[in-house]
Structure 1
């Protein structure tokens, strides 16, 4: 498009004006503090796939490149402050996988990053720059069916992770999932989920393209069939028996490497010889302590002090991650 320069302006003055104008536009068009942080500089281009069919896509071999965005999603309903294990989980995902972004999905409208462990995160500029907060309404119903009052936020999180993955795609992690190795090898598949032999699927780690067929069917499976009185029916039992048993090709099946089994996780707190290193992820079971082995409950709250001398494998994991040693003097400014 051509435009005429008024005679009273020189071309040089117009050029200067355009530069200044662009600077002002750039400044004022930056996200406000409520939108939080800018995008990471090291995002990669994805292989674009809009639809998946049995004829065109194989979840055994996957795509030639990444099709799942390198975003890690956490859901935090009602509580946004971090505890020590939350910080450890975030740090492990950053160090061992390095996502482009961490999306924290919460129903808290005015988020504040308060507390010692958020301060630790802020002190790590590369980590802090990757964190964004997304508002996510905590569901009260699903397809017109009221959620359980007692389990509302737990069942709501089950639904929330499906909706988040359908909106963005990426890697969903429970707040107590410790990433041990990079998950990039799974990002070339339509949907990846832990499904052990003779077990229901494990929802603690889910990696999916936003147009995943299984994810869409999983949400649909709630229609006229939500069981408010059953803890894991809609999250694990029904999608396994009604979808995956009949159509296992809809996912890339992981057996064991996401550490979803309770019997696997309990080794972190009861078996000094347990080797966790071959796993890609392990569920720490931090939210299930009330009914677990009494030996686990001997240390009810982990922190940067007692982790230095914790004798079971979880102590080794955290000390390796944070580069701390039992004899090191604790610091209030960070590990």
Structure 2
């Protein structure tokens, strides 16, 4: 490239001042070309692991390959949880937190909540505090639950659900990192996904799953995802804006904007239901499983026997979720009293 540039520059009849000026120009040109053309664009813009440039999603990752990814981590090692209208931890929340710590070990856990003056109090928060390594990584951040999007009022019935759909996009556009629903159980390290612009579970024949997102804050998809709500929010449709519209209007046409995960995030309902019906389900083949705890009441035939899990009855629970929970809590099974 440099030979082509300099081939047309005359090399005779220069005065000393012209020669010096030419040398300076040439050195600057070489430096610019080397900087701009021999380093990936996102690396020239990044500062540290997570970058410091917002608002340039059209060009920030221009020509980035979401199939191969970067040669280093570009997504910060932060796990985000959103807890609107409810901050105390329950048993399943505690299991999820322990699994993410043991199996992935992020630098930070950010709990985003609209509960003013939220305090980490209660039985399971007390257990978290006893784990000094885990407790040292937790930060609580106040986040107002959205009531509207681009001037459109959110559904009264689905406000916190649709609000969470919106908030997770905004949180990732602010910080970058790993967003998890509160019932997503991490099984293996997620570091291999932190080299991509944006990682989304998108199974064959389905809409994207927004239970897990792993993304750089300047992800092109995140910005387009949020913009897809403009003049198109449907308050009475549960998953239209959260999953259907971004799939059909963005990913069908621009699949290169994400690193597509098929199956490894365990978002299929068949996976979640197996945790409560199959005592020997092969759960370790996934990186994450969305456990669908809010749907147990109709998926789990044994729901009435164990409506709420705790550290005592989990010892006698024969199905796969029992095995998963006991593993991260270092508990031994006790089936002597169970049917």
Classify the TM-score, shorter chain.
Answer: 0.7 to 0.9
- 2:189 and 2:287 in contact (8 A); partners too: yes
What do the CA deviations read for 1:216-246 (whole angstroms, capped 9, x no partner)?
0000000111011010000000000000011
In the alignment, structure 1 residue 46 sits paired with structure 2 residue 53: no
2:236 aligned residue (229, 244, 258): 229
- Look up the SS of the partner of 1:269 in the other structure: coil
- Structure 2 residue runs without a partner (length 5+): 1-46
TM-score by length of 1: 0.82
Give the whole-Å Cα distance in 2 for the aligned partners of 1:320 and 1:113. 24
Q: C-alpha displacement at 1:296, in angstroms?
A: 4.3
1:208 counterpart (198, 206, 215): 215
Q: 1:98 aligns with which of 94, 105, 113?
A: 105
Is residue 165 of structure 2 the alignment partner of residue 158 of structure 1?
yes
**Bigger helix fraction:** 2
User: Given the superposition, is the C-alpha separation of residues 155 and 297 from structure 1 closer, same or farther in structure 2, using an over 3 Å criterion?
Assistant: farther
Size of the aligned set, in residue pairs, is 286
Query: Are 1:301 and 2:308 an aligned pair?
Result: yes
In 1, are the aligned partners of 2:229 and 2:241 still within 8 Å (CA)?
A: yes
Separation (CA, whole Å) in 2 of partners of 1:105 and 1:242: 29
Matches of 2:50 and 2:141, distance apart in 1: 25
2:178 maps to 171
* Structure (1 or 2) with the larger CA radius of gyration: 2
Aligned counterpart for 1:108 among listed residues 81, 97, 115: 115
Distance change >3 Å, CA 90–CA 82, structure 1 → 2: same
Q: Secondary structure at the match of 1:257?
A: coil
Tell me if the contact between 1:165 and 1:210 (Cα under 8 Å) persists in the aligned partners. yes
Give the Cα–Cα distance (whole angstroms) in 1 for the partners of residues 267 and 76 of structure 2: 23
Q: Give the match for residue 4 of structure 1.
A: none
TM-score normalized by structure 2?
0.81
The residue aligned with 1:80 is 87
Question: Contact 2:183–2:290 (CA<8 Å) still a contact in 1?
Answer: yes
Contact preservation (8 Å) 1:289, 1:297: no
- Which of residues 128, 131, 134 in structure 2 aligns to 1:121? 128
1:105 partner SS: strand
Q: In structure 2, what is the Cα distance between the partners aligned to 1:167 and 1:99?
A: 18
Q: Could you list the runs of 5+ residues in structure 1 that have no partner in the other structure? A: 1-43, 329-335
- For 1:319 and 1:147, how far apart are their aligned partners in 2? 39
Query: CA 1:47 to 1:216, structure 2 compared with 1: closer, same or farther past 3 Å?
Result: closer
